[in-house]
Amino acid sequence: MSFINYATKTIAIKIVYYGPGLSGKTTNLRYIYLKLDSAYRGDLVCLETDTDRTYFFDLLPIRAGMIGEFKVHFQLMTVPGQVFYEASRKSVLRGSDGIIFVADSQIPLLDANLESFDGLRRNCLQHDIDLMKIPLVFQYNKRDLSYLIPVETFNNLLNPRRSPWVEAVATKGVGVFESLREISKLSVPVVRERLFGEKPHEEADASQFSARDLEGLQEKGPEAGEARAGQLTQVKVKSRQDIEDELDKLSKEYSRE
Ligand SMILES: Nc1nc2c(ncn2[C@@H]2O[C@H](COP(=O)(O)OP(=O)(O)O)[C@@H](O)[C@H]2O)c(=O)[nH]1
Ligand SMILES: [Mg+2]
């Protein structure tokens, strides 16, 4: 659920990158981090365990525009892909305002994509999230490789409601900002309606807002990004409870600004 802070006039919108392990979710966040002007983003925070160096989650807060007199912050989060982190995936999904499903386009990974999407469906049910209604964007990633699942097949299997989809090469940044803009366009009007009771289908109004809202989501040149590459924050966690506490803490911290 989007989080509203009346004191600081801030709205936090939570976007979750979901998908099988190694599909490219972290790569998306890293690219956004590197290419966004630092005025528009906070630190990229990665939660990792003591024992192995597996990243559990990544969280990147970004600022984008206004709803009325409220500043809009997006909280971008990834979920861990490995099967045994089901409980953690569930807790990240809690309260999400939009989902980007990052699929791995390689043919041998078709089952992994379907399994992950099934998991998403199950977890949404348990959180009373209607997967047919929540803002959802599909990113068909790794289109630079060979033996690819055709987009049409992906859409038929995963995307019967024909949500927006984007072909991507996240390592090169292809489709990364496009996916982010698509999910923003879908999620901002819904949040606005929920918080202020404004209807999202007043079209002129909505598109005007979107343009303004997305002003901050512009890619900057590579030089600027490289200079900031060292600013990743790593937080050690031990248990699932640690992870949930840490995520709650981070969410609140970033929405306070
Ligand atoms: N060839 C190719 N490799 C990619 C692409 N996106 C991500 N990768 C690689 O896939 C691996 C897993 O990516 P990562 O973002 O860590 O996956 P995550 O588990 O979904 O967070 C890394 O080695 C990435 O460099 C892509 O579009 N093309
Ligand atoms: Mg990752």
CATH number reported for the structural domain that contains residue 215 in this entry: 3.40.50.300
To test the ligand 1 pocket, which listed residue (27, 59, 100, 141) has its Cβ within 8 A of the most ligand atoms?
A: 27
pLDDT of residue 245: 76
> Is there an atom of ligand 1 within 6 Å of 105 CB?
no
pTM of the model: 0.88
Tell me which of 52 and 153 has the higher pLDDT: 153
**Which residues hold their Cβ within 5 A of ligand 2, which is an ion?**
25-26
Cα–Cα distance, 47 to 91 (Å, whole number)? 14
pLDDT of residue 178: 95
Tell me which of 188 and 215 has the higher pLDDT: 188
Q: What is the average pLDDT across 186-207?
A: 70
pLDDT of residue 230: 45
Q: What is the average pLDDT across 212-239?
A: 60
The residue segments making up the domain with residue 13 are: 3-241
Say if 36 falls within a structural domain: yes
Query: Whose C-alpha lies nearest to ligand 1, atom 9?
Result: 24
Say if 253 falls within a structural domain: no
Say if 24 falls within a structural domain: yes
> Is there an atom of ligand 1 within 6 Å of 4 CB?
no
Say if 158 falls within a structural domain: yes
Ligand 1 atom nearest the C-alpha of 78 is 21
The total domain count for the chain is 1
Say if 21 falls within a structural domain: yes
Kindly give the distance from the C-alpha atom of residue 30 to the centroid of ligand 2, in angstroms, as a whole number. Answer: 10
pLDDT of residue 32: 94
> Is there an atom of ligand 1 within 6 Å of 78 CB?
yes
To test the ligand 1 pocket, which listed residue (22, 29, 60) has its Cβ within 8 A of the most ligand atoms?
A: 22
Which residue from 62, 3, 58, 97 is spatially nearest to 217, judged by alpha carbons? 62
Say if 122 falls within a structural domain: yes
pLDDT level of residue 192 (50, 70, 90 thresholds): confident
Lowest mean pLDDT among 87-96, 105-114, 178-187: 87-96
Lowest mean pLDDT among 14-18, 60-64, 109-113: 60-64
